[in-house]
Each structure stands twice: as structure tokens, then as C-alpha cells.
């Protein structure tokens, strides 16, 4: 596995999903009270941009069809999506967030 610098930690405000690109890879970063979670940035149902979704506690709501995903593990809590979101392991070093690829 390779660690890649994704962003500065202060560029992801608490409760505001933000998308970052690593080459062709789209990664959604969510800051839940200082703990960072990195997920695939597109809904597994129809490819909606999840950065436009709403965060309700630790649940991310898809902006197009309302699928619900648990932020910690990408699990589908409510469809129409059936496949979970890919989760990327991450590490904070200093002021930067790194992900494992």
C-alpha cells in the first residue's frame, strides 16, 4: 500500500463533506468532530456526487435518490443503493491527511 497526501486537515470543516481528487480517483472526506473518514465520492447506485449530499450525524444522504450510508464503514443503511461505499484508511500527520491506496 502507498500513502498519498490528500489535503490539509483544516480544509475539511466539521460536518461538511469535501471531495478531493487523486489522479482519476475521487475521494470524499468527512470530518466528524475531528475524526476523519475517507470514502468513495460517488454513490454506488447511480453515481451521484456525494459531496453534494447531506450529513445527518454519522449518516451521509445521497443527493439524488436518498440512499443512506454510514460514514464509518460505508455500509448502506437505506437504498436504493445496495453496494457499500469503498472506505480508504487514513492517517493524520501534522496538518495533513494521508490515505492508503
All domains of the chain in start order, with CATH = 3-100 (2.102.10.10)
Q: What pTM value is reported for the model?
A: 0.95
**DSSP characters over 12-54:** S-BT--EEEEETTEEEEEEEETTEEEEEESB-TTT--BGGGSE
Q: Among residues of the chain, what percentage have pLDDT more than 70? A: 100
Residue 56: what pLDDT?
96
Strand partners, 35: 32
Neighbours of 99 (CB within 10 A): 23
**35-72 pLDDT, tens per residue?**
999 999 999 999 999 999 999 999 999 999 999 999 99
Q: Are 81 and 67 in contact (CB under 8 A)?
A: yes
DSSP character at residue 80 = S
pLDDT above 90 for 95: yes
Q: Is the pLDDT of residue 1 over 90?
A: no
Distance between alpha carbon 63 and the CA centroid of its chain, in Å? Answer: 14
Per the CB < 8 A criterion, the answer to whether 12 and 36 are in contact is yes
Amino acid at each position: 500500500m502507498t500513502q498519498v497526501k490528500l489535503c490539509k486537515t483544516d480544509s475539511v470543516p466539521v460536518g461538511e463533506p469535501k471531495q478531493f481528487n487523486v489522479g482519476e480517483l475521487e475521494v470524499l472526506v468527512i470530518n466528524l468532530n475531528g475524526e476523519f473518514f475517507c470514502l468513495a465520492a460517488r454513490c454506488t447506485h447511480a453515481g451521484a456526487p456525494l459531496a453534494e449530499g447531506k450529513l445527518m450525524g454519522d449518516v451521509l444522504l445521497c443527493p439524488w435518490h436518498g440512499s443512506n450510508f454510514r460514514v464509518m464503514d460505508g455500509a448502506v443503511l437505506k437504498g436504493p443503493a445496495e453496494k457499500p461505499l469503498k472506505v480508504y484508511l487514513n492517517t493524520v500527520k501534522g496538518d495533513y491527511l494521508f490515505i492508503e491506496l
